[in-house]
Structure 1
Amino acid sequence: MKKKEVVKQSYQSQEYDKIFKENIEELIIPFAEKLLNINPKNLREIPNDLQTTLERKPDFLKKVIADKSQKEKIKDFILHIEFQTVDEKDMAHRMNEYYAILYRKHKLDVHQYVFFIGTGKAKMKQIIEAKNLSFRFDVINMQDFSYELFLNSNKPEEVILAILADFGKTDSDTIIKSILQKIKDLPIENSIQKKTVIQLEVLSKLRKLQPQIIKHITAMALTYNIEDDVRYKQGEEKGELKGELKRAVESIMEMLKDGLAYEKIAKYAKVSKEFVEEIAKQIKK
């Protein structure tokens, strides 16, 4: 892989990591219940000073306090989660290092999960078998789950994960519109809505759906200061995406000047009638 591609991949991975780290406190309970089949009602902070030993610190680390009222004898444990966009071949060794340090420090079992949010299913090695060592961790592939599992949530942080899930036989345009409509309908502040839409747009790059996302964001009036938009802060993609949007608007403006009906323009440009009307208003100003 060329140096330029490695740098770009590293930058994009940081973008995705940032989204999950920003949202993890809201996501961890539904993640645990829906995807891991555990119910961590009581979570406690634990010191996250592993970075003094390792190059990276864990994406998510909490102590889970067992519910003593349950009949099953469940012990307290450490919940450790990593989010991966790349199918890393040496992931097992990294997870084993985390386990050894955490177990030595806390003397508790460590439940480890890697959520693979890249395309397809991860093939990374999950087991290490050596003399006096037997180790494994679990991989959760986001595309093993239906998009509806996330779309039906009332948490915006969870709704946007539908873009990473299994679409089944539903086309991407329908799903994108459903996600955006759900975000629009949620009783959240405008600032939260804006943040959620931006995060959705970033995640959509993992599925090569960003151009479609941009089109539908604009068409559904989920617009905001376009020059501050994340799609204009993405290096090499900036010119291409900005040019694509500019050409679409220019085309609509020409059709408006020719006197075409809004419905026909919307059909030809593949946008909503409301978007055409908005451009028409801007022309008249």
Structure 2
Amino acid sequence: MEDEKTNQKEQNLYDKILKENILAYILQFSKRQLGFQIKEHTLLKDKLQTTLEREADFLIFITTQDEKEFILQLEFQARDEPNMVLRMQEYYAILQKKYQKPIIQIVYYLGETPSNMRATLAPSEVFTGFQLKSFRDYSYKEFIESENAEEVIMAVLADFEKEKQEEVVRKILFRLSQLKTDLTALNKYVKQLLVLARLRNKLPKIIQNQLGNMGTIGYDIEKDDFYLQGLEKGLEKGLQKGIEKGIEKGLEKGKLEGKLEARRELAISCLQDGLSVEKTAKLTKLSIEEIRKLSKEL
């Protein structure tokens, strides 16, 4: 039971980050992946009900003489209900999830005049499954080239393409420091990155090592309760204090020492990965001339 509570707390943390960030990039990301053209969009904030307030009229578990088992649902309607077929579909989904048995549904109409209720779903209304996609199916490069920090941090969940984890993490952190030079904003996305990194073994520790190596951000993750316990309490206490203090100190040091060198190292890595001179220049904020010079030295 305690493990379930811990898992739920961690799931809530992931959900919070994804819901907070998703509108910043998901439409353009989906457009690239699925190819649909968006004319306009409206966010629907309705909460989906997990239970129906009304109860089914009769539910009967039946076993036949030849040992077949199924759920029989009987409904009685005194008048036409235009959306009865959709209501029965809701019942069907709930019953299927709970009992995982074949289901037979019958609606008995009690009215005097003939019924006009639809009894079958249109093809477009029939649930036949969903599209399953994994972030591991996408290259981290697709995320790291984004202009949105919200999308950049998702690179930590993508395919590293056999590249060393340390190198990918370094690119993610460097890209975040480019997009978010304000301390408060950078603090926010580093925290979110650390939370998402818990979905990948060893990455929180690798992130900490790279934070120190870059000379732009510093934070001792091993002293953080969140890293040791994985609880929301640790995130609020340890990360809030440690990251804010570490980032502020690291940024000041990085401005004086490692900024340019870190950019050059990142540029070399990008070129070795096959990125174009133009994309590498855009990512590292170095001039095209300097990128070309580094390319010749490889």
Instruction: State the TM-score, normalized to the length of structure 1.
Output: 0.50
What amino acid is the match of 1:222?
I
The structure with the greater share of residues assigned to strand is 1
1:217 aligns with 2:217: no
CA separation of 1:198 and 1:134: change in aligned 2, threshold 3 A: closer
- The alpha-carbon deviation at position 148 of structure 1 amounts to 0.3
Cα distance, 1:181 vs. partner?
0.7
Q: Aligned residue for 1:163?
A: 156
Match of 2:169 in 1: 176
Give the equivalent residue in structure 2 for 1:71: none
How far 1:231 sits from its partner (Å)? 4.3
Structure 1 spans left out of the alignment, 5+ residues: 55-100, 106-128, 243-285
For the Cα contact (< 8 Å) 1:201–1:213, is it kept in 2? yes
| Corresponding residue of 1:232 | 225
2:130 pairs with 137, 148, 155, which one? 137
CA distance in 1, matches of 2:138, 2:157: 9
Q: 1:85 is matched with which residue? A: none
CA distance in 2 between partners of 1:47 and 1:156 (Å)? 24
SS at match of 1:176: helix
How much has 1:43 moved relative to structure 2? 0.8
Identity %: 30
Alignment of 1:248-263 (within 5 A): none
Tell me if structure 2 keeps the 8 A contact 1:198–1:230: no
- For 2:160 and 2:181, the matched residues in 1 are separated by 26
Query: How many matched pairs?
Result: 169
Contact 1:164 1:207 in 2 (8 A): yes
Structure with the greater alpha carbon radius of gyration: 2
Inter-CA distance 41–187: structure 2 relative to 1 (3 Å threshold): farther
Secondary structure, in 3 states, of the residue corresponding to 1:45?
Answer: coil
Name the CA distance, whole Å, in 2 between partners of 1:177 and 1:219. 9
Q: 2:17 aligns with which of 16, 19, 23?
A: 19
User: TM-score if structure 2 supplies the norm length?
Assistant: 0.48
Answer whether contact 1:144 1:165 (CA < 8 A) is retained. Answer: yes
Whether contact under 8 Å (2:204, 2:227) holds in the other structure is: no
Q: Which residue of 2 aligns with 1:40?
A: 38
CA contact (8 A) 2:140 2:159 kept: yes
Q: Which moved more, 1:230-239 or 1:142-151?
A: 230-239
TM-aligned CA deviation for residue 190 of structure 1:
2.1
Cα deviation for residue 47 of structure 1 reads 4.9
State the distance in 2 between where 1:211 and 1:175 align. Answer: 14
Structure 2, gaps ≥5 residues long: 53-82, 88-101, 105-119, 121-125, 239-298
Alignment of 1:238-277 (within 5 A): none
- Distance in 1, Cα, partners of 2:228 & 2:183: 27
1:186-241, CA deviations, whole angstroms, 9 ceiling, x for partnerless residues? Answer: 255321111111111111110111111122223333236x69x99434672589xx
The structural deviation recorded for 1:38 is: 2.3
Give yes or no for contact 2:138–2:158 (8 Å, CA) kept in 1: yes
C-alpha distance in 2 between matches for 1:130 and 1:144: 36
* 3-state DSSP of counterpart to 1:24: helix
Question: Relative to 1, partners in 2 of residues 1:47 and 1:152: Cα closer, same or farther, differing over 3 Å?
Answer: closer
Report SS of the residue matched to 2:35. Answer: coil
Q: Which amino acid aligns with 1:6?
A: E
Give the counterpart letter for 1:14 in structure 2: N
